[in-house]
């Protein structure tokens, strides 16, 4: 069956450093920082900031950021939660008084305090080498001098410009002439460049307590939003302890709640004790992954939220005895009904970077749904996320809206260690699909021996529900024996286009401890590459 899956491009091999990102300009920007004497942290921030210029439909300065950082000098792995909180003045009652029966999906009330700038600053200050200002220079150059619009950005702008949810501020920023720029047309974002320059000059404080903060607070006040200058000034990211499970002889690390990293760990922890098929695409392999997903997502929807509001200890969800009990519920001969299946939406960017000294960064950043809230702060180029759409107006819901609360985040960077050293760094965009992609790619690499590029290129599946009906969506490239085998096991299988973006944009690097060679992969579903030297 695997012979049907011919690898489309080779893995990138390098010894001195590597950056894998979903746009080639961002990967090259990160690589330039490495060649200039920077480390993996500098490179990751440079790539992240550049993506906000050239790929702004999946990430932005008005979003959040999460990182896993392996510090070679100390041999320690650190977690960074750079997510923002709901405004202190936001509440279920306030939204209901405005006539909202459920949490809005777009608009000013879906915006939570953006955590990206602070997260960059925290990482650069603690672990960077060249400083935040140097890391932002490539993005500033592209925003000021211009770059050529690629097909993905053109398509995203076309879709959003036709949508009613696009705020006038969005149109003024992205389509000032009233038309969508063509593929190959050079565009510039001078207001975004000015915002970057302010952060480069003053540090992240410029975003939360400087002139930028005043501009944002005034904008929210004009638009009737809840976020105030005090909300911005009070924001802070957090250094957190990553969580892990053992899988195929490796320790797989993810971030704790409010991310859904535990969901990926549960899937892998359950799979580690299950017999799989002969190949990564064998129906028995896919079936086991899907059934583990159902159980993990039932727990996710019941328990995961801001850790200060959780009803249980997150560690309990990945305890060996608990995973064994959940694993025992999987019937390897038949699909089980799902308690609370996930959905199919979400737009994000994931990138990773590694340097010659052994430092590794796993970084994920997002607007949430495409261009986020559909709102851009006038005069700043800051595209505001709609992460608050994940809140609920049901006070009994795990993610009930509360002022100052973090909602559940789909963003999950990951990193694997073997014998205490990085063996794999990996992640993907894709909303609820992210843990599902983690399980599939880690399984392909660690249990079936595929290189990272080959594993990323494999046809993928995403399980979820729309209008109450759950399905397994598979790329049409999946061998018919795999699809037919899943149907025989009781799954409702629906095909989608080959290389469909709903399957996420994945990036990853594996590390050969014996010779120091890095092997990188980048998703053909996006416009990226794994750039190394």
Catalytic (active-site) positions: 348
Which residues lie across from 77 on neighbouring strands? 70
Contacts 24+ apart (CB under 8 A), 174-178: 174/56, 174/376
Phi then psi dihedrals of residue 522, to 5 deg = -140, 145
Which tokens sit at 246? Answer: 């053992």
Rg (CA), the chain: 22
Which helix (DSSP H) or strand (DSSP E) does residue 163 occupy?
A: none
Cβ pair 48, 41 in contact under 8 A: no
Strand order in the sheet with 238-240: 238-240, 76-82, 64-71, 360-368, 347-355, 17-21, 529-532
CA 278 – CA 315 distance, rounded (Å): 32
Phi then psi dihedrals of residue 481, to 5 deg = -65, -35
Looking from the CA of 76 toward its CB, the CA atoms found within 13 Å total: 7
Which helix (DSSP H) or strand (DSSP E) does residue 8 occupy?
A: none
Helix, strand, coil % over all residues of the chain, rounded to 5: 40, 20, 40
Phi then psi dihedrals of residue 210, to 5 deg = -100, -155
CA angle 36, 413, 55 (to 5 degrees): 65
Which residues lie across from 509 on neighbouring strands? 425, 520
CA 160 – CA 182 distance, rounded (Å): 15
CA distances from 316 to 243, 245, 262, 320, 436 (A): 11, 12, 10, 9, 21
Nearest residue to 434 (alpha-carbon basis) of 367, 502, 520, 510: 502
Which bin fits 462, alpha (ψ -120 to 50), beta or left (φ > 0)? beta
CA 139 – CA 208 distance, rounded (Å): 20
């Amino acid at each position: 069956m695997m012979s049907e899956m011919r690898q489309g491009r080779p893995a990138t091999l390098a010894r001195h450093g590597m950056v894998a990102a979903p746009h080639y300009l961002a990967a090259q920007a990160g690589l330039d920082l490495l060649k200039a004497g920077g480390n993996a942290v500098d490179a990751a921030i440079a790539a992240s900031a550049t993506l906000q210029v050239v790929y702004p439909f999946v990430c932005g300065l008005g979003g959040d950021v999460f990182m896993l950082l392996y510090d070679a000098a100390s041999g320690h792995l650190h977690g960074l939660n750079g997510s923002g909180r709901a405004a202190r003045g936001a509440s279920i009652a306030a939204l209901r008084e405005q006539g909202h029966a459920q949490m809005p999906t777009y608009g000013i009330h879906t915006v939570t305090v953006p955590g990206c700038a602070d997260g960059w600053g925290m990482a650069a200050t603690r672990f960077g080498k060249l400083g935040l200002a140097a890391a932002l220079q490539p993005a500033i150059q592209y925003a000021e001098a211009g770059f050529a619009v690629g097909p993905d950005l053109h398509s995203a702008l076309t879709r959003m410009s036709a949508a009613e949810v696009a705020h006038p501020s969005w149109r003024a920023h992205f389509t000032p002439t009233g038309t969508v720029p063509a593929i190959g047309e050079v565009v510039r974002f001078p207001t975004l460049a000015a915002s970057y320059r302010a952060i480069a000059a003053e540090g992240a404080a410029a975003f939360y307590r400087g002139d930028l903060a005043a501009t944002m607070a005034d904008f929210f006040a004009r638009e009737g939003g809840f976020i105030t200058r005090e909300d911005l000034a009070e924001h802070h990211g957090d250094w957190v302890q990553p969580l892990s499970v053992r899988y195929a002889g490796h320790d797989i690390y993810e971030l704790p709640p409010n991310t859904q990293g535990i969901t990926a760990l549960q899937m892998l922890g359950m799979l580690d004790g299950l017999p799989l098929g002969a190949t990564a695409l064998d129906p028995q392999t896919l079936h086991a992954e899907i059934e583990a997903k159902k159980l993990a997502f039932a727990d996710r929807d019941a328990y995961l939220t801001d850790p200060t509001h959780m009803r249980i200890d997150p560690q309990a969800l990945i305890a060996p005895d608990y995973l064994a009990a959940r694993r025992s519920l999987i019937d390897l001969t038949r699909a089980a009904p799902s308690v609370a299946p996930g959905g199919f939406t979400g737009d994000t960017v994931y990138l990773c970077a590694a340097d010659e000294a052994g430092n590794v960064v796993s970084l994920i950043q997002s607007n949430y749904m495409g261009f986020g809230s559909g709102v851009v702060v006038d005069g700043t180029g800051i595209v505001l996320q709609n992460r608050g759409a994940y809140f609920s107006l049901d006070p009994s819901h795990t993610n009930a809206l509360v002022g100052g609360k973090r909602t559940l985040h789909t963003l999950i960077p990951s990193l694997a260690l073997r014998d205490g050293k990085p063996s794999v760094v990996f992640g993907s965009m894709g909303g609820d699909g992210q843990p599902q992609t983690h399980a599939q790619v880690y399984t392909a690499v660690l249990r079936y021996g595929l290189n990272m590029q080959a594993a990323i290129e494999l046809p993928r599946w995403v399980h979820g529900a729309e209008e109450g009906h759950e399905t397994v969506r598979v790329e049409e490239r999946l061998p018919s024996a795999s699809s037919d085998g899943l149907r025989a096991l009781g799954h409702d299988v629906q095909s989608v286009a080959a290389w469909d973006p709903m399957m996420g944009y994945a990036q990853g690097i594996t590390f050969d401890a014996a010779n120091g060679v890095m092997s990188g992969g980048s998703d053909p579903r996006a416009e990226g590459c794994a750039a190394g030297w």
